């Protein structure tokens, strides 16, 4: 028969093990570890083959179109009330859910994921690989956006009832001045980078994290280079928008704003909050 003191000591040991396990689980949420997860993902992205980046990027450009389609569906079939705006913008989350959960190559995710390895260990070689990934992914996203725009305009892939809403949404997205487009793109870049930062510790609620933050992009009337490129392409292939206007008023300022938000603001802040911890850890 076990001695009472032995049983008591055993209970204490079990309690200590449970406490230690809880501490270890909580430690997984530490910013340093989140940073390391994203940095390693970024290293993998920088090493991916050209073919895989292009095909994944094209797929993302096509699938992100469902953000515009989702909004158009809500706008078409919901009654025209003041609250419709908040509800219809939930449709904007649909394309991002597909792209992010399927781990397709979306340019705005790369403004943090592939940047952290370069900030962590800056070399000309890594900087060159970063430029390669950005160019391939953005170009592939654009190809996907134009392909799906051609599909929607020149085939009966979408019901005709959605066309007016698709056009209205696209005209609105292209209606900002270059200055407005740039500054509205900065919060969008920050929010997409925030999603990337939160996903490692939000696996069970990733669905809701993506919905909330991408809804905020739409509801806040912020501008996103890839989703907006679908709207840009939708008008371009119909001859409603000139290439010069598309580039000068939308594409270039929004691209710059998303990069500033995702890289110059969020990525540098993310690195800044873990830099000292990583330095201390390397000295031990």
pTM listed for this prediction: 0.85
Q: Which two tokens stand for residue 46?
A: 């920088």
Which CATH superfamily does the domain covering 30-276 fall into?
A: Glycerol uptake facilitator protein. (1.20.1080.10)
pLDDT tens track of the chain, all 284 residues? 555 555 455 544 545 554 454 445 544 557 788 888 888 988 999 999 999 999 999 999 999 999 999 999 999 999 999 899 999 999 999 999 999 999 999 999 888 899 988 888 889 999 999 999 999 999 999 999 999 999 999 999 999 999 999 999 999 999 999 999 999 999 999 999 999 988 888 778 899 999 999 999 999 999 999 999 999 999 999 999 999 999 999 999 999 999 999 988 888 887 777 776 665 454 44
pLDDT of residue 247: 96
Residue with tokens 């696209």: 170
Q: Which of 46, 218, 56 is nearest to 143 (CA)?
A: 56
Say if residues 226 and 106 touch (Cβ distance below 8 Å). Answer: yes
Q: How many CA atoms lie within 13 A of 219 on its CB side?
A: 18
Q: What is the C-alpha to C-alpha distance for residues 144 and 39, in angstroms, rounded to an integer?
A: 27
pLDDT of residue 282: 47
Q: What is the C-alpha to C-alpha distance for residues 54 and 142, in angstroms, rounded to an integer?
A: 11
Largest CA distance in the chain: 89
pLDDT of residue 283: 46
Q: What is the C-alpha to C-alpha distance for residues 15 and 31, in angstroms, rounded to an integer?
A: 27
CA angle 141, 196, 37 (to 5 degrees): 115
Write the DSSP symbol of residue 251.
I
CA angle 77, 70, 72 (to 5 degrees): 50
Q: Which two tokens stand for residue 12?
A: 């204490």
3-state DSSP call for residue 177? Answer: coil
User: For helices 163-173 and 65-77, what crossing angle results, to 10°?
Assistant: 120
Say if residues 229 and 254 touch (Cβ distance below 8 Å). Answer: no
């Amino acid at each position: 028969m076990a001695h009472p003191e032995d049983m008591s000591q055993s209970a204490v040991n079990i309690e200590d093990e449970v406490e230690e396990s809880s501490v270890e689980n909580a430690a997984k949420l530490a910013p340093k570890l989140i940073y390391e997860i994203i940095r390693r993902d970024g290293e993998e992205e920088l090493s991916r083959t050209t073919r895989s980046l292009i095909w994944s990027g094209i797929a993302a450009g096509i699938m992100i179109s469902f953000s515009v389609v989702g909004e158009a569906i809500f706008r078409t079939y919901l009654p025209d009330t003041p609250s419709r705006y908040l509800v219809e913008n939930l449709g904007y989350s649909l394309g991002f859910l597909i792209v992010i959960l399927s781990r397709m190559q979306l340019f705005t995710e790369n403004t943090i994921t592939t940047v952290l390895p370069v900030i962590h260990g800056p070399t000309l070689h890594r900087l060159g690989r970063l430029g390669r990934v950005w160019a391939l992914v953005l170009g592939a996203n654009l190809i996907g956006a134009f392909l799906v725009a051609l599909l929607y305009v020149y085939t009966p892939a979408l019901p005709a009832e959605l066309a007016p809403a698709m056009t209205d949404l696209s005209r609105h997205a292209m209606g900002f001045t270059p200055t407005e487009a740039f500054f509205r793109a900065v919060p969008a870049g920050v929010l997409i980078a925030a999603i990337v930062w939160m996903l490692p510790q939000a696996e069970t609620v990733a669905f809701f994290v993506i919905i909330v933050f991408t809804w905020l992009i739409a509801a806040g009337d912020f501008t996103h280079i890839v989703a907006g490129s679908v709207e840009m392409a939708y008008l371009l292939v119909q001859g409603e928008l000139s290439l010069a206007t598309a580039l000068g008023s939308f594409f270039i300022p929004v691209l710059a704003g998303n990069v500033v938000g995702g890289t110059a603001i969020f990525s540098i802040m993310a690195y800044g909050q873990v830099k000292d911890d990583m330095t201390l850890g390397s000295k031990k």
